[in-house]
Amino acid sequence: MMDLKGIMEILPHRYPMLLVDRILEFERSKSIVGLKNVTINEHFFLGHFPGRPVMPGVLIVEAMAQTGGVLIAQEFENIQDYVIFFMTIDNVKFRRPVVPGDQLRMECEVIHFRRKVCRLKGQAFVDGQLAASAEFSSMLVKKDE
């Protein structure tokens, strides 16, 4: 559906903070599915944790939010003029560790969307097993404000 180049045209994130490699499914204003290929080359594995690398939970939530950001960005013609900021992160649960070699599948759906504020529900899976889930709210803010 969308490759890394297309994602980079929408999201302002870049290495090492771009955490979505591909968009697999997309239903405008409703849902999106993205992928993150987790490799041992990720910068955070150097310190989290030596000898037992585990993807930090906060980055799993960020990957879900970035996937949701691609969904929300489709609602705006001039998205390059905005930045999407977290407002809230609720009901976060981690169910299994994410380790090098895993493919993280992020599924997000819109709970509520009005004007420039959106609430999403995200789930991250590895091999069909739930790794993490969260609900988050974001707001679009004009870059020059």
Instruction: Compute CA distances 6 → 21, 49, 68, 86, whole Å.
Output: 10, 32, 15, 22
Question: How many helices (H) does the chain have, and how many strands (E)?
Answer: 2, 6
**List 13, 43, 48, 112, catalytic entry:** 48
Identify whether 13 is a catalytic site residue: no
Let me know: does 132 contact 77? Beta carbons within 8 Å: no
Bridge partner residues of 51 (DSSP): none
| Phi, psi of 9, rounded to the nearest 5 degrees | -75, -20
Would you name the residues annotated as active-site residues?
Answer: 48
